Structure 1
Amino acid sequence: MKIVVQVKLMPDAAQAPAIGATLRMANERANWVSGVAFEQGAPRAYELRKHTYADLKSAGLGAQAAQHTIKKVSDAYTTLRANIRAGNLGRPGSRRRAKAESKPIAFRPEAAHPFDDRCLSWQYDAQTVSIWTTAGRLKNVRFACSAGALKTLREYRRGESDLIERDGVFYLIAVCEVPEAPLNEDPSGFIGVDLGIVNIATTSTGYRAAGRGLNRHRKRQAELRRKLQAKGTKSAKRRLKQRARKEARHAANINHIISKKIVTTAERTGRGIALEDLTGIRERVRLRKDQRTPLHTWGFHQLGTFIEYKAHRAGVPVVYVDPAYTSRQCSRCGYTDRKNRVGQATFACRACGVTLHADDNASHNIDRKGEAVWTAGRESRAPATP
């Protein structure tokens, strides 16, 4: 299983300008290659090299850096074509799709650029790296990371690492191949996870992660951004820049904590995890204007991704189930009715009279669906032998 480990580079006063100039030049050349690819109809990397490799070398990029620049542009166009085919950019003729198809792909000056083992070497004991730059090879560039991240790098790092700049700070994002634990082929049951906004996650084991704190944090951040944007002074803009991505980092940290608790419980009890397949929910539902911001800042996909990769590392099976009627169906008797959902937090069955917290009821329906999906997946679909 591939995961990424992010480390912070701490170059000295002489090293930082060289690293920054290299990153900016690589992305500037990537924009030029992107223009050539757009004019040539986005050819494959091999054909694109014929048109651009010599010019990249003469511009000052090394052989490996030039190859990576061409590959980065080719991969970007491959991703764009895949998104167009999948309909992620709208239907043919839509404004968003027309905008994406009408101009070359652009790369920001501080966008990520890949380095392989020929351009970048790691010294784990000294916590330094040696990296190629347009000003020559830089040695003894210090980096900082946690002890756990350093252990993962030392044991599992494979392939390329991306150099990126955020707010004047350089980071290396390294790819690590971490072995997965043997999958539990015979789980004793499934933990149903109901995802929501008021309660971020509610499990059928009784764990509930309330979203009140995160929602308050987001509301405070939005109000602060509004005030600083209205102020418009240099100091206000500087403050906005300092607080950029703070909300996203806070939400990601909370999702990491929640996912770790859910996966740890499943591993300890020998069960699997059942999640709702909420793909396309933002396009399907219609909400009032005051409800749109909470919906579009809802990090259900990120939480599901965190649960999935942590479960794979622990050998815990994960299944996705259809979320239809999980909030309307009684987990005790199976009666389904829209009127069963009395309020946001209250479920009262019209048939058997049971009263439960609505999220608890939904999580029990999800765990039952998870078992059915897991059993159906293990059953043979081959026709019977005559």
Structure 2
Amino acid sequence: MKLVVQVKLLPDSGQVAALEDTLRTANYAACRLSERAQANPRRCGRTALQRDHYRDVKALGLSAQPALHVIRKVADAYTLRSANLRAGNYGPASGDRYRRVAERPIRFRPNAAQPFDDRCLSWQHDAGTVSIWTTRGRLKDLRFTGSPDQLKTLQLYRQGESDLVYRDGMWFLYATCDIPEGEPIDPQGWVGVDLGIVNIATTSGGYRAAGRGLNRHRGQKRRLRTKLQAKGTKSAKRVLKRQRRKETRRATDINHVISKSIVVEAQRTGHGIGLEDLTGIRERARLRKPQRTTLHSWAFAQLGTFIEYKARQRGVPVVFVDPHDTSRMCSACRYVDKNNRVSQAKFRCRSCGVVAHADVNASHNIAAEAAVVWERGAESTAPAPA
């Protein structure tokens, strides 16, 4: 199972200058190569670009391996763009947006991430340093830090490339780790997980993670951003810059805590986990304008990914089920009626009269559907985490 571990670099002023120059040179070369790939779209694959432009890329100040990584980065970007164009993600071929995307070369930011392999980057775990190639020579004794769990995972399971990333004035390395999966268990039952906004997650086992605190935090940050953007002064812009990604980090931390609680409980009781497949819900949902911001800031996909990869580490099976009617169906008699859902929190069956919390009722329906899917031998439709 592939996971990405993030470690923070602690460069001094001289090392910062070398890292900045490396990213700037690599991305300048990528932009130049991108223009040539755009001019000859039939020759924008990895092999063709390397055969046609390898020497020119090296001449811009890169050694052999970084030049190859620049070529692969450009080729992969054009492959992804072609796939998005074919899938209609930029609208119909006759549309203005489609033409703008298709007719312009892909641009790379001066500080965009750059991959490094083991020939250009080596790790000294005992010393807590890395040795990395730069345009100003090899940097040795570049210190890095991270949480103890991350550093242990990095030392035991790192494989493949690592990306040098510059973000918010800090330097990071994103390293790919191949972590072994846990021994699969034979589930003795299923835990259904209902995901929502008012309650982030509600399980059929009785666990409930309320979203009141996170929603209040999002509202405060949203109002603060609106106020600062309207003010528009230099000091307001400095505060906006400091506030960047705080809301996202808070939501990510909460999702990690919730997902770990759910997976640990499922492992302890020998249960599998049933989740709703909510792919495309933002496009399907029809909401009033004030509710759209809340829906689009809902990190349900991230929470589902966290639950899945943590479950795979522990051998807990995860099944994704169709969410249709899970909130309208009675978990006791299976009667379906949209009027069963009296309010956001209250469920009352029109057939048998059962009264329950709406999210708890939905979680029991998800658990029952997960058991059916598992018995049929169906596999999860969700992609494995990168």
Query: TM-score if structure 1 supplies the norm length?
Result: 0.95
Quick one: structure 1 residues 197 and 20, their matched pair in 2 at CA, closer, same or farther if it must change by over 3 Å?
same
Separation in structure 2 between the aligned mates of residue 281 and residue 58 of structure 1, nearest angstrom: 48
**Structure 1 outlier segments of 4+, above 4 Å:** none
Quick one: structure 1 residues 87 and 189, their matched pair in 2 at CA, closer, same or farther if it must change by over 3 Å?
farther
Q: Which residue of 1 aligns with 2:145?
A: 144
Code of the aligned partner of 1:174: A
Q: Which residue of 2 aligns with 1:263?
A: 263
State the number of aligned residues.
Answer: 378
Check if 1:120 corresponds to 2:121: yes
Written as runs of structure 1 = structure 2, the 5 A alignment for 1:358-377 is 358-377=358-377
Q: Which residue of 2 aligns with 1:45?
A: 46
Separation in structure 2 between the aligned mates of residue 223 and residue 94 of structure 1, nearest angstrom: 36
Separation in structure 1 between the aligned mates of residue 264 and residue 95 of structure 2, nearest angstrom: 45
Q: Which residue of 1 aligns with 2:175?
A: 174
Separation in structure 1 between the aligned mates of residue 113 and residue 337 of structure 2, nearest angstrom: 51
Separation in structure 2 between the aligned mates of residue 102 and residue 201 of structure 1, nearest angstrom: 44
Check if 1:71 corresponds to 2:72: yes
Separation in structure 1 between the aligned mates of residue 260 and residue 50 of structure 2, nearest angstrom: 44
Q: Which residue of 1 aligns with 2:331?
A: 331
Long gaps (5+) in structure 1:
380-386
Deviates more, 1:115-124 or 1:234-243: 234-243
Q: Percent identity?
A: 61
Separation in structure 1 between the aligned mates of residue 315 and residue 83 of structure 2, nearest angstrom: 31
Q: Which residue of 2 aligns with 1:93?
A: 94
Written as runs of structure 1 = structure 2, the 5 A alignment for 1:180-259 is 180-184=181-185, 186-259=186-259
Q: Which residue of 1 aligns with 2:16?
A: 16
Q: Which residue of 1 aligns with 2:165?
A: 164
**Contact 2:25/2:60 (8 A) holds in 1:** no
Separation in structure 1 between the aligned mates of residue 96 and residue 348 of structure 2, nearest angstrom: 46
Separation in structure 1 between the aligned mates of residue 316 and residue 83 of structure 2, nearest angstrom: 31
1:378, CA displacement in angstroms?
6.5
Check if 1:343 corresponds to 2:343: yes
Separation in structure 1 between the aligned mates of residue 83 and residue 190 of structure 2, nearest angstrom: 34
Q: Which residue of 2 aligns with 1:314?
A: 314
Code of the aligned partner of 1:86: A
Separation in structure 1 between the aligned mates of residue 354 and residue 323 of structure 2, nearest angstrom: 21
1:285, CA displacement in angstroms?
1.4
Separation in structure 2 between the aligned mates of residue 215 and residue 58 of structure 1, nearest angstrom: 52
Separation in structure 1 between the aligned mates of residue 288 and residue 80 of structure 2, nearest angstrom: 34
Matched position secondary structure for 2:71: helix
Code of the aligned partner of 1:113: Q
Quick one: structure 1 residues 346 and 378, their matched pair in 2 at CA, closer, same or farther if it must change by over 3 Å?
closer
Separation in structure 2 between the aligned mates of residue 65 and residue 244 of structure 1, nearest angstrom: 31
Query: TM-score if structure 2 supplies the norm length?
Result: 0.95
**Contact 2:192/2:366 (8 A) holds in 1:** yes
1:237, CA displacement in angstroms?
1.0
Deviations 1:163-220 (A, max 9, x none): 0100121100000111111222x21111111111111111111111111111111111
Separation in structure 2 between the aligned mates of residue 163 and residue 180 of structure 1, nearest angstrom: 27
Q: Which residue of 1 aligns with 2:2?
A: 2
Code of the aligned partner of 1:158: Q
Q: Which residue of 2 aligns with 1:285?
A: 285
1:290, CA displacement in angstroms?
0.6
Code of the aligned partner of 2:341: R
**Contact 2:21/2:135 (8 A) holds in 1:** yes
**Contact 2:184/2:316 (8 A) holds in 1:** yes
1:358, CA displacement in angstroms?
0.4
Separation in structure 2 between the aligned mates of residue 355 and residue 235 of structure 1, nearest angstrom: 54
Long gaps (5+) in structure 2:
380-386
Quick one: structure 1 residues 65 and 213, their matched pair in 2 at CA, closer, same or farther if it must change by over 3 Å?
same
Separation in structure 2 between the aligned mates of residue 278 and residue 34 of structure 1, nearest angstrom: 36
Quick one: structure 1 residues 193 and 88, their matched pair in 2 at CA, closer, same or farther if it must change by over 3 Å?
farther
1:102, CA displacement in angstroms?
2.4
Matched position secondary structure for 1:92: coil
